[in-house]
């Protein structure tokens, strides 16, 4: 068989000549989605500002161990969410009009940054998060009943293991994507 035959088979595929689906609903849905995204961003920003103001309002002059523990946990979570949002924005804003090779290079650079994050920033954040939890555990131990304290400890360990499993799965998936891109 020659390549010409393969090309003919390819071009004579039945079923590939279809009437294009109506694009209007997609356009309308997309416009609605963009509007909703802007509203969500606004609501999230206002909530964030209110939370920060409230946080300082109630805790600014009452520095304590619980304050430190809670601060560490909340800060790590907020930074983690911020990193993910920024990352998604970067992916969405990639220049789709570049040539394939330039676009691939852009995508490789994105996944290399994600790799750096996964092996430097994220482990530090996980350590800080656990330090925050340990500080809180000290206070839980003092103020909670034994039964409830063990319940908190066990549920924390279980949720941390589950969380770690999903983070690891995501990192491995992204490393595989990076490898495929670099090899192609």
CB of 150 to another protein, least distance (A): 39
Which positions from 56 to 95 touch another protein by CB under 8 A, shown as an x/- string? -----------------------------------x--x-
Q: Please list the alpha-helical segments (H only) found in the chain.
A: 3-11, 24-59, 65-92, 100-116, 122-143, 146-183
Q: Report the greatest alpha carbon distance in the chain.
A: 82
- Is 173 among the residues that bind another protein (CB under 8 A)? yes
Contact between 107 and another protein (CB under 8 A)?
yes
- Nearer to another protein by Cβ, of 14 and 142: the residue is 14
Residue span binding another protein (CB under 8 A) among the ranges 35-43, 58-66, 136-144, 176-184: 176-184
Contacting range for another protein; rule: CB under 8 A; set: 13-21, 38-46, 51-59, 139-147: 13-21
Q: Are 69 and 139 in contact (CB under 8 A)?
A: yes
Stretch that binds another protein, among 29-37, 42-50, 64-72, 127-135 (CB under 8 A): 29-37
Query: Which residue from 55, 67, 103, 140 is in contact with another protein, where contact means CB under 8 A?
Result: 103
Q: How far apart are CA 100 and CA 62, in angstroms?
A: 56
The CB-based long-range contact list for 170-179 (8 Å cut-off, 24+ gap) reads 171/118, 174/111, 174/114, 174/115, 174/118, 175/115, 177/111, 178/108, 178/111, 178/112, 178/114, 178/115
**For residue 90, which of 69, 75, 74, 107 has the smallest C-alpha distance?**
107
Instruction: Give the whole-angstrom CA distance, residue 126 versus residue 120.
Output: 10
Q: Is 101 in the site for another protein (CB under 8 A)?
A: yes
Q: Is 184 in the site for another protein (CB under 8 A)?
A: yes
- Among the listed ranges 16-24, 64-72, 133-141, 153-161, the one in contact with another protein (CB under 8 A) is 16-24
First to last CA, the chain: 27
Q: Can you give the binding site for another protein, defined by CB under 8 A?
A: 1-3, 6-7, 9-18, 20-21, 23, 26-27, 30-31, 34, 91, 94, 96-104, 107, 173, 176-177, 180-181, 183-184
């Amino acid at each position: 068989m020659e390549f010409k035959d393969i090309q003919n088979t390819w071009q004579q595929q039945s079923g590939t000549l279809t009437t294009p689906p109506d694009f209007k609903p997609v356009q309308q849905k997309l416009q609605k989605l963009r509007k909703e995204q802007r509203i969500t961003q606004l609501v999230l920003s206002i909530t964030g500002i209110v939370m920060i103001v409230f946080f300082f309002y109630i805790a600014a002059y009452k520095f304590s161990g619980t304050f430190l523990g809670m601060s560490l946990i909340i800060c790590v979570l907020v930074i983690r969410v911020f990193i993910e949002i920024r990352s998604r924005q970067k992916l969405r804003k990639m220049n789709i009009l570049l040539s394939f090779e330039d676009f691939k290079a852009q995508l490789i650079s994105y996944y290399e940054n994600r790799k750096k994050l996964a092996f430097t920033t994220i482990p530090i954040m996980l350590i800080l998060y656990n330090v925050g939890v340990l500080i809180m555990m000290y206070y839980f131990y003092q103020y909670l009943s034994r039964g409830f304290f063990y319940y908190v400890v066990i549920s924390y360990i279980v949720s941390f293991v589950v969380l770690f499993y999903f983070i690891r799965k995501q990192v491995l998936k992204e490393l595989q994507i990076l490898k495929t891109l670099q090899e192609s």
